[in-house]
Amino acid sequence: MARFELKLPKMGESVAEATVTNWLKEVGDRIEADEAVLEIATDKVDSEVPSEVSGILVEQLFGKDDLVQVGQTIAIIETEGGETAAPETVNAVQETAAPAEVAEIEKTIEAVKETVASQDFSGSDKFFSPLVKNIAKEEGLSLNELENIAGSGKDGRVTKEDILKYVEDRKSGAVQAPQTVEAPKAVAETPKVEAPKAVEPIVQKSQQAVPVSVNGADEIVEMDRMRKLISGYMVASVQTSAHVQSFIEVDVTNIVKWRDKVKAAFEKREGEKLTFTPIMMEAVAKALKDFPGMNISVDGDYIIKKKNINLGMAAALPNGNLIVPVIKNADQLNLVGMAKAVNDLGNRAKAGKLKPDDTQGGTYTVTNVGTFGSVFGTPIINQPQVGILALGAIRKVPAVIETPEGDFIGIRQKMFLSHSYDHRVVDGALGGSFVKRVAEYLEAFDVDRDF
């Protein structure tokens, strides 16, 4: 029978690896061509890996939470023999296998499951794949010893090859790692009681990993993978950038009137709904061309001036999480093109159909807090960018209207723009001037323009 190697497909120029989050098919399951076999996750986007062929899944080469490089084989599928060929083979093996052999295999499987379930390296801040942790458990490696293995994977992660080489060197005496990681013993021999103090944080961390409801009525739910990532990004951004904010109120009456006048014709001609978002994004793209100092990123002590204007568009997902797809070369789009890009990314974000490249390369981000009724907000910068603009809710408010005949009070449509920027590289003059320019573009909107 032919054996097809299912490889991790290329998911974009900037994506080199992904993590297995869930197997949708088990060994022995029938798979149709284009049917999803497993779910994977990059640092921002979750997606599925479909099979290119029909057949039977005979081998899973990676487990849940394992890191896979693009191009690596992740599963083996038997393709020859039609619908029943593989099941007949499986049945033949089952029929010819002796009961004693079957029982022995089942015992081995259970032993492996128990080993995996009993392993505990949760006290470490480092990431270890289930395979690496299982090998460490079987070889009797301590947490301290495992943490001191030099990893050759991305970000210093310990791979299967790293730990197997370490175990081999350890057995041959080529490496004296046990003595290196037995520092706690040396501390324990001294009169001081520093060893228990060193262990204490790990014990506390392990205990806090599973909180307990005191009254029994509270529900305790672990964060999903994406929420953990978002949490890490937000904390890191606040710790990295010196956030300051500038606020400005904008009269968008002309925009509201124009949209009300043309939205039906726009949808009929373009097949797209016309929201306020693309109009705002068009103004932001223009302002970034006027103030390129906002279209930069920071790398240590260096400033990177971005050639392209790629606008990130924060979007809320149905599960409550947040994702930021990117409109590439936004300054080159007219209003129709901007509306189509906004709608396409927004719809695919809600449906979970974004590709990894759709969230890469942003140079500035816009978030619409007005969608949820907020008048204004103080958004956190999307690293390594240096600014983010929050669009507040559009409201009817009484306002002073200046005319040649004098001032009077009238009803106007207004909104707040909230600009958060990185004070390490953006001072108030630039940050304030930029958001003021966005406001000027919006207030000068031509009500007679065509779309």
Q: Please list the active-site residues.
A: 423, 427
Give the span between the Cα atoms of 273 and 345, in whole angstroms: 13
| 3-class secondary structure, 293 | helix
Give the span between the Cα atoms of 289 and 286, in whole angstroms: 5
Instruction: Confirm if 359 and 323 have CB atoms less than 8 A apart.
Output: yes
Q: Give the count of beta carbons closer than 10 Å to the beta carbon of residue 197.
A: 10
Instruction: Confirm if 399 and 412 have CB atoms less than 8 A apart.
Output: yes
Instruction: Confirm if 282 and 338 have CB atoms less than 8 A apart.
Output: yes
Instruction: Confirm if 269 and 339 have CB atoms less than 8 A apart.
Output: no
In this structure, what are the phi and psi dihedrals at residue 446, rounded to the nearest 5 degrees? -85, 115
Alpha carbon 76 to chain centroid, angstroms: 28
Q: Give the count of beta carbons closer than 10 Å to the beta carbon of residue 376.
A: 19
Give the span between the Cα atoms of 82 and 371, in whole angstroms: 52
Got the DSSP string for 63-74?
-TT-EEETT-EE
Instruction: Confirm if 380 and 314 have CB atoms less than 8 A apart.
Output: no
Give the span between the Cα atoms of 448 and 451, in whole angstroms: 10
In this structure, what are the phi and psi dihedrals at residue 74, rounded to the nearest 5 degrees? -110, -15
Q: Which residue in this structure is represented by tokens 């109120």? A: 249
Give the span between the Cα atoms of 424 and 239, in whole angstroms: 12
Sign of CA dihedral 357, 359, 360, 363: positive
Give the span between the Cα atoms of 57 and 75, in whole angstroms: 7
